[in-house]
Amino acid sequence: MVATMTDNKGRAGEPETSGNEELILPSPEDRTYISLSAEAEQQGKQEAAPPAAEAQKAADAPIIPESGKRVYINLNKTENSEHADKDGDGSSASHNGSDAQAENQDAPARKVSRGIDDTQELPPTASRKITLPPHNAIRELVSNEKYRLEHMIARGAESVLYRAKCDGHLICVKAVRNSVNKWLGDSITRNQEERLEKVSYRTKLRHIQNEFNVSKLLYSEDDTPTVHIYALRRISRMGLELGYDLIMEYLTGHDLGDKILSRTLTLTDKVNVFYRAIKAVAFMHQKKLIHLDIKPSNFMLVRDQVKLIDFGVSVPSGHRPRAITGTSGYLSPEQICKDTLDEGTDIFALGVAFAVFFGGKSLNQPQEMLLQRQTRQDMQYHLNHDVQPVVNEAPDLNSVPPIFEVLRACTIPRRDLRINKCEVLLNLLRQKAEQAGIKLMD
């Protein structure tokens, strides 16, 4: 049997032999974890106190963040403010996970101004009143009626995002196309696919179909912390298949990988974004689903909400993969050694993702190393034995060590010591935020 290592959602690496290979545990002196850096790894080895003891020590003497203006994220957006989003002009939308790091054709100047406009200095008790889109009505429309692609939003590793309209409703369309589209496709999509040929159409199709199937389990007429996906439509011409369109809600906001957004938010805002991101992941876990591609660009800050996007490689909890799937830099030990995946897998990636959001770096996980058998054997050892967190820095949290220790506790390789439930993580964050004098906004 031949399995394929996939990176960045299905970008195939070299084939590897999978079978009943005997697992040889490396000796402790030969073990290496794919971590932030050699210096960070050495620093981690020198730490004497376990994470729990460090957290307790920090909790005993919490450092209150510097006083100053707090910017609360659109807590009282009302119907009167919706004029800014009516046709979506001047907004930024990104729904595509790995695509969120793609080139964006919306004007950068307008994106900056939107980021500033979407954060307002408001009292903590501000009222919230947001008119929700008629999701069921849009779902029915896009399933049966024609929609019109307006322009490209972003291009990623596997698909292209377009802004579109259907009967006056603004929607987002994630499009994957095959080689036939070059000849028979419409003028908007025909010239956009040529840069996406490194990933096979079969792989792209499998991921977009998986995303739609997962979205059906998450769908609700009510607002949710995950993006609403309405329909998957086959595109054909003259009886020939050109590809598929995944139709979803159009989110006006910024992904958490946006450095301009990161500089705009206060420390209190950032901790609240972390809090709400955990809730979004918890929503998926309640449905017994593992996202499996947690990273900053797969979270969208939309007004006062954090929305989780991109379910192309999501799987049921308890799944045991045959290939390494996810994004390099955020992979848990169990992903690398292809062990059983559970809620703790997402929480590990969540810890790394928010270390990046708070000014740190992702893990050093080069693809050529991931393909090596020795690396997978090392990861199996770390999964069962290592108690030191792999995240060693998040500069924005230097003034609030209790919250930094919560983050670190998410990234312990050994599964039985790692935080493995979102409810536990939420309760711990509430406790440490209170100690640090940071108010979390539910």
Decide: 388 and 44 in contact? Cβ < 8 Å: yes
**Among the CATH numbers 1.10.510.10, 1.10.286.10, 1.20.1600.10, 1.10.10.60, which is that of 34-65+253-435?**
1.10.510.10
Poorest-confidence range of 5-14, 62-71, 188-197, 296-305? 62-71
Q: Which amino acid is at 268?
A: T
CA dist., res. 162 & res. 93, Å (int): 9
How long is the chain? 442
Please state which CATH class domain 85-108+116-249 belongs to: alpha beta
The pLDDT, as a whole number, for residue 351 is 98
The pLDDT, as a whole number, for residue 195 is 61
CA dist., res. 87 & res. 74, Å (int): 19
The pLDDT, as a whole number, for residue 33 is 43
Q: Residue for token digits 């139709």?
A: 247
The pLDDT, as a whole number, for residue 123 is 39
Poorest-confidence range of 67-71, 83-87, 142-146? 67-71
What is the average per-residue pLDDT within 243-259? 94
The pLDDT, as a whole number, for residue 305 is 93
Reported confidence tier of residue 274, pLDDT bands at 50, 70, 90: very high
Poorest-confidence range of 76-90, 403-417, 427-441? 76-90
> Is 209 exposed, middle or buried, given 0-12, 13-18 or 19+ CB atoms closer than 10 A?
middle
The pLDDT, as a whole number, for residue 405 is 96
The pLDDT mean for the chain works out to 77
The pLDDT, as a whole number, for residue 299 is 98
Which residues touch 304 (CB under 8 Å, ≥6 apart)?
72, 73, 74, 75, 77, 128, 130, 441
Over the chain, what HEC string results?
CEEEEEECCCEEEEEEECCCCCCCCCCHHHCCCCCCCHHHHHHHHHCCCCHHHHHHHHHHCCCCCCCCCCCECCCCCCHHHHHHHCCCCCCCCCCCHHHHHCEECCCHHHHHHHHHHCCECCCCCCCCCCCCCCHHHHHHHHHHCCCEEEEEEEECCCCEEEEEEECCEEEEEEEEECCCHHHHCCHHHHCCCHHHCCCCHHHHHHHHHHHHHHHHHHCCCCCCCECCEEEEEEEEECCEEEEEEEEEECCCCEECCCHHHHHHCCHHHHHHHHHHHHHHHHHHHHCCEECCCCCHHHEEEECCEEEECCCCCCEECCCCCCCCCCCCCCCCHHHHCCCCCCHHHHHHHHHHHHHHHCCCCCCCCCHHHHCCHHHHHHHHHHHHHCCCCCCCCCHHHCCCHHHHHHHHHCCCCCCCCCCCCHHHHHHHHHHHHHHCCCCCCC
Q: What is the pLDDT of residues 349-404, one digit of tens each?
A: 999 999 999 999 999 999 999 989 999 999 999 999 999 999 999 999 999 999 99
Which residues touch 186 (CB under 8 Å, ≥6 apart)?
149
What is the average per-residue pLDDT within 143-159? 89
Q: What is the pLDDT of residues 9-54, one digit of tens each?
A: 543 333 333 333 333 333 333 333 444 433 444 444 444 444 444 4
Poorest-confidence range of 38-42, 118-122, 282-286? 118-122
The pLDDT, as a whole number, for residue 156 is 81
Reported confidence tier of residue 424, pLDDT bands at 50, 70, 90: very high
Reported confidence tier of residue 191, pLDDT bands at 50, 70, 90: confident
Q: Treating both helix axes as pointing N-terminal to C-terminal, what angle do 267-286 and 343-357 enclose, rounded to 10 degrees?
A: 160
CA dist., res. 142 & res. 233, Å (int): 9
Same fold, 34-65+253-435 and 85-108+116-249: no
CA dist., res. 314 & res. 288, Å (int): 11
Q: Residue for token digits 């997402």?
A: 346
Reported confidence tier of residue 134, pLDDT bands at 50, 70, 90: confident
Q: Is pLDDT of 118 > 90?
A: no
The pLDDT, as a whole number, for residue 262 is 86
Decide: 273 and 212 in contact? Cβ < 8 Å: no
The pLDDT, as a whole number, for residue 197 is 63
What is the average per-residue pLDDT within 326-344? 97
- What sign for the dihedral angle of Cα 133, 137, 143, 146? negative
CA dist., res. 335 & res. 353, Å (int): 16
Query: Residue ranges per domain, the chain?
Result: 34-65+253-435, 85-108+116-249
Q: Which amino acid is at 337?
A: C
Poorest-confidence range of 46-55, 79-88, 185-194? 79-88
